[in-house]
Amino acid sequence: MDDYKAIKIGLVGDANIGKSSLVSLISKEDLPKIYTPTIGVDLRVLYIEDKKLKLSFWDLSGHTLFKDLVDNFVKSMDVICFCFSCDNQSSYTYMCNLYNEYTENNILQNKLCILLLTKIDKLTDLNYKLLGIDFSREKHIPFFMTSSLQKIGCLDFLNYIIKFYSPVTEEKEQKPKNHNFECILS
């Protein structure tokens, strides 16, 4: 596996919004039946054989107790997934604050950023979707709506990352921010 290109993908956002569930689903594990807060950092690795990619998913705790630890991990990531959920308005504010903080500290330079709205099986207020679309357009980052429970959107977001880092798209990799992303909704 030495010839595999290693990509580090970090999921950040408020606690209890479904980050760990998303990582479990992507790594083809059963979803946890009861809520277990992530202690600091959790890691899952996925090998994409035909593209020779080693994707490591860093499930980063949203608990403020681990913020310093998580911030340090974020610096070493290639991809940052900014997450907020459909059942928690304050998770949007939390995500925006994180994005602004990382931008101000130049942490997002040369990283691929992705916006994820989680738990869309619980979407009762369309405003969440609109907030996501506006944020994605303003920051020029792709937007995916996901539900780990109903297995919606998770593969789309995974495939996006695979395509982005596949050999033919190496040019893109150098300047992720210069591309005009459209919102990607499923």
Ligand X SMILES: Nc1nc2c(ncn2[C@@H]2O[C@H](COP(=O)(O)OP(=O)(O)O)[C@@H](O)[C@H]2O)c(=O)[nH]1
> Do 82 and 108 meet the contact criterion of CB atoms below 8 Å apart?
no
Residue 148 as a binder of ligand X (CB under 6 A): the answer is yes
In whole angstroms, give the CA distance from residue 61 to residue 58.
9
Residue among 151, 155, 131 at smallest CA distance from 82: 131
End-to-end CA distance of the chain: 33
Q: Which two structure tokens, joined as six digits, stand for 110?
A: 């040369």
CA 80 to chain centre: 5
* 64 versus 169: smaller Cβ distance to ligand X: 64
Q: Binders of ligand X: how many residues, by CB under 6 A? A: 18
Binding segment toward ligand X, per CB under 6 A, in 32-40, 64-72, 125-133, 160-168: 32-40
> Quick one: which of 17, 20, 85, 154 contacts Mg ion (CB under 5 A)?
20
Scan residues 64-93 and list those touching ligand X (CB under 6 A): none
Least Å from the CB of residue 46 to ligand X: 17
- Pull the structure tokens for residue 118: 């989680």
Instruction: Please report how close the Cβ of residue 60 comes to ligand X at its closest, in angstroms.
Output: 9
Binding piece for ligand X, criterion CB under 6 A, among 30-38, 66-74, 156-164, 177-185: 30-38
One-letter amino acid for residue 71 of the chain: D
By CB under 6 A, name the binding residues for ligand X: 15-21, 35, 37-38, 62, 118-119, 121-122, 147-149
